[in-house]
Structure 1
Amino acid sequence: MSAALAARASRRLTRDRPAMTALATLLGIALACLIGPFLTGHPPERIYPDFVRVGPSLAAHPTEAELRPALTRLAFRMRLSLDDAARDGDRVRLRLSAEKPIDARVLRLLPRSALFGPPTVLDRADDGRTLVVAAPVRKLFFFLGTDTLGRDLLTRCLAAGRVSLLIGLTATLAALLIGVGYGAVSGMAGGRIDALMMRILDILYALPFVFFVIMLLVFFRAGLWLVLVAVAAVEWLDMARIVRTQTLSLKGRDFFRAAVALGSPPGTILVRHAVPNTLGPIIAAATLLVPRVILLESFLSFLGLGVQEPATSWGVLIAEGARALEAAPWMLAAPAGFLVVTLVALNRLGDGLGAALDPLLSRDPR
């Protein structure tokens, strides 16, 4: 692409406000997925047994209704009896008792629960069987709720976005590299070579995708890299057809015939004339391919053939949310919301890039 064409495309894109809004949205989602899990205060794999399937809320946890059951479970684990519990602001005062003298080391379970800070023993009975303890109460926020294991859903969605975006971008890049090269060569060659290359493409189209993935699983273990290989091996087919069609249409134009008449090598014509003039449809198709790859990964993960624990993706979270739809609808709404926003933004950005990179446009849009 020439510098003049790049500058013209940049001006067109910056004047397209919906496309720039979509670009800003995508950058925001990518940035949130990269640094967000470090800012939520919850590791993605952290399980809170006391907060299973908690709904989305801006309120801090534990609430008054949650505090007593949590303390009762902790006392049971410490093999103590909870005689009394009173909350005073950000601190809780406990009276614990046992049939035998209490070893203060069992109080370490309080900070390990992630609900309370280090405890302080305020009073001890002479026989050591009763303790009065004070401990700070930590504030936990679950803005998008928790899942069936008690993990923070916001953190899980942001961590899953890293995997989903990685799969989408990597598979799309592979499809671009293979599909653009294959399609451009096929369109430039024409004749029998073009027909042969297209028949090979038809044979690959006829292979069932799920059967192909299952065959890979026979020899390799399911995981992220297997999803990348399987998706990249299939998604370049459409890109090759798009580039071939565009190249065939360009062969009849005057600038293309002039390059052939001047004796330019086929490789030079391919790089300087064919590929740059198909960038508009290529970019538009690529932006649509990213959400398609993410949805395809979701399908594989739903079948158990995609991303495996402890890693996760939007597809895995959507599959988990679908199974818990009646009891916890937010488990489906949260990852689906991220996916829908990403899909809409990519579609709108693709339209804007397709128009901005179209070399046949004679003037900038107003």
Structure 2
Amino acid sequence: MRGRGANTARTLGRLGRERGGVGALAVLAVIALACLLGSALTGHAPDRFYPDLRQLPAGLAAQPDAAHLTPALERIAFRMRAHVAAADRTGDRLRLTLTSEHSIDRRSLVYLPRSDLFGPATVVVDGEGGRRLVLDMPVRRLHFLLGTDIHGRDLLTRSLVAGRVSLAVGLTATLVALLIGIGYGAVAGYAGGAVDAAMMRVVDALYALPFVFFVILLLVFFRASLVLMLLAIAAVEWLDMARIVRAQTLSLRGRDFVRAARALGQPASRILLRHVVPNTLGPVAVAATLLVPRVILLESFLSFLGLGVQEPQTSWGVLIAEGARAIEAAPHMLAAPAAFLIATLVSLNLLGDALADALDPRAG
């Protein structure tokens, strides 16, 4: 146990000296925390529509600004069957004059706060038998740091919520692939002979199956869903892991500690769980850090094709697909989710490289 603890300490020490790996780990931690908690701090619900603030570019300016204030008031006034006669804004207060050929229904004033752009209105002047109203109301200050999408939803909030799905898919599918691949590869490598040959021919046959064709085949029989996509990705991503673990097991089964365990009469299952699998975890850990970005990329690819995450859920792949369709009118819709995806993929790959160096027994 002390030997294992010393090895772990040495590995952590080597990993700590890898600046790229530490930086990548910090970036991943920030992205994960932002995806988990950030959507509650942006001030916008992920499914909240602002029809007057569609396709806003990224920026720090508070909304609604002068360019969007008048169209928003005219739209609301139209629903109230009135016309905007005057709108004078002073700071965060607005003095609005509405006129109509008929008496304006006071109950329709509820449209103003429902827009989320204005607060409750107070009637200052009620003239001409209710056909002319002068209202005083607050104007809310809304910030959209990454802009809004084609429906007027906050892109930062949407990207953070989408990150939960993408990261969950990546981690869950990788975990399933690890469990299947480690178990399958360890059994094949330890058994050897005809059993190993037969098991690896199954792996070769699955390698020959085109992934997209496999997903489409599943969608023919089952409805597209997040669970189905997880199963489809995990069903093929364990193959590489099985080969890695099998190769490690083949080299370990002839080692002295495995022979000693056999001589003591320990069953094969116990030898695999206590002696073989723990000694394969180094390469497996490195492969896992490289598998997560590949799974996230696969999910994004499937969602981009419309075969992955479905509404009302979203993911980085879904947002990138929406941004690609609106790239000429609103390039920020593509840039925002793509930046999150690229930062995550690059960080995971850098962490995998750093972990490979830290686990290298030849390293000092």
- Equivalence for 2:250: 248
Structure 2 Cα separation of the partners of residues 145 and 44 of structure 1: 13
- Equivalence for 1:125: 127
Pick from 23, 27, 30 the counterpart of residue 28 of structure 1: 30
Residue 267 of structure 1, CA deviation: 3.0
Residue 21 of structure 1, CA deviation: 1.8
Asked whether 1:86 is paired with 2:100, we answer no
CA RMSD in angstroms comes to 1.8
- TM-score, normalising length: structure 2: 0.94
Structure 1 residue identity aligned to 2:187: V
Mean Cα deviation higher: 183-192 or 249-258: 249-258
Asked whether 1:320 is paired with 2:322, we answer yes
Q: Do the aligned residues in 2 keep the contact of 1:20 with 1:349 (CA within 8 Å)?
A: yes
Gap runs ≥5 in structure 2: none
Structure 1 residue identity aligned to 2:147: G
- Equivalence for 1:64: 66
Structure 2 residue identity aligned to 1:179: G
Q: Residues 140-289 of structure 1 correspond to what in structure 2 (within 5 A)? A: 140-253=142-255, 255-257=257-259, 259-260=261-262, 264-289=266-291
Q: Aligned with 1:140: secondary structure? A: coil
Q: Do the aligned residues in 1 keep the contact of 2:186 with 2:245 (CA within 8 Å)?
A: yes
Structure 2 residue identity aligned to 1:52: R
Structure 1 residue identity aligned to 2:115: S
- Equivalence for 1:107: 109
Structure 1 Cα separation of the partners of residues 363 and 353 of structure 2: 17
Q: Do the aligned residues in 2 keep the contact of 1:22 with 1:345 (CA within 8 Å)?
A: yes
Structure 1 Cα separation of the partners of residues 353 and 265 of structure 2: 36
Residue 252 of structure 1, CA deviation: 4.8
Structure 2 residue identity aligned to 1:286: A
Residue 256 of structure 1, CA deviation: 4.6
Residue 6 of structure 1, CA deviation: 2.6
Mean Cα deviation higher: 279-288 or 206-215: 206-215
Residue 294 of structure 1, CA deviation: 1.1
Structure 2 Cα separation of the partners of residues 65 and 325 of structure 1: 22
- Equivalence for 1:19: 21
Q: Aligned with 1:46: secondary structure? A: coil
Q: C-alpha offsets along residues 26-70 of structure 1, whole Å, 9 cap, x if unaligned?
A: 111111001111111111111111111110001111111211111
Structure 1 Cα separation of the partners of residues 149 and 363 of structure 2: 53
Q: Aligned with 2:52: secondary structure? A: helix
Gap runs ≥5 in structure 1: none
- TM-score, normalising length: structure 1: 0.94
Q: C-alpha offsets along residues 176-203 of structure 1, whole Å, 9 cap, x if unaligned?
A: 0000111111111111111010001111
Q: Do the aligned residues in 2 keep the contact of 1:279 with 1:357 (CA within 8 Å)?
A: no
Q: C-alpha offsets along residues 246-273 of structure 1, whole Å, 9 cap, x if unaligned?
A: 2223345555555556655433432333
- Equivalence for 2:297: 295
- Equivalence for 1:306: 308
Structure 2 residue identity aligned to 1:93: R
Q: Do the aligned residues in 2 keep the contact of 1:280 with 1:356 (CA within 8 Å)?
A: no
Pick from 135, 138, 142 the counterpart of residue 137 of structure 2: 135
Residue 357 of structure 1, CA deviation: 3.5
Q: Do the aligned residues in 1 keep the contact of 2:165 with 2:314 (CA within 8 Å)?
A: yes
Structure 1 residue identity aligned to 2:122: T
Structure 2 Cα separation of the partners of residues 47 and 335 of structure 1: 18
Structure 2 Cα separation of the partners of residues 344 and 305 of structure 1: 25
Pick from 323, 341, 344 the counterpart of residue 342 of structure 1: 344
- Aligned residue pair count: 362
Q: C-alpha offsets along residues 91-141 of structure 1, whole Å, 9 cap, x if unaligned?
A: 111110111112211111000001000001111114221000011000111
Residue 10 of structure 1, CA deviation: 2.6
Q: C-alpha offsets along residues 264-303 of structure 1, whole Å, 9 cap, x if unaligned?
A: 5433432333222222221111111111111111121122
Structure 2 Cα separation of the partners of residues 330 and 271 of structure 1: 50
Q: Do the aligned residues in 2 keep the contact of 1:280 with 1:355 (CA within 8 Å)?
A: no
Structure 2 residue identity aligned to 1:280: G
Q: Aligned with 1:94: secondary structure? A: strand
Q: Aligned with 1:275: secondary structure? A: helix
Q: Aligned with 1:50: secondary structure? A: coil
Structure 1 Cα separation of the partners of residues 321 and 304 of structure 2: 6
Residue 166 of structure 1, CA deviation: 0.5
Structure 2 Cα separation of the partners of residues 284 and 321 of structure 1: 33
Structure 2 Cα separation of the partners of residues 303 and 159 of structure 1: 20
Structure 2 residue identity aligned to 1:306: G
Structure 2 Cα separation of the partners of residues 334 and 212 of structure 1: 31
Q: Identical aligned pairs, as a percentage?
A: 67
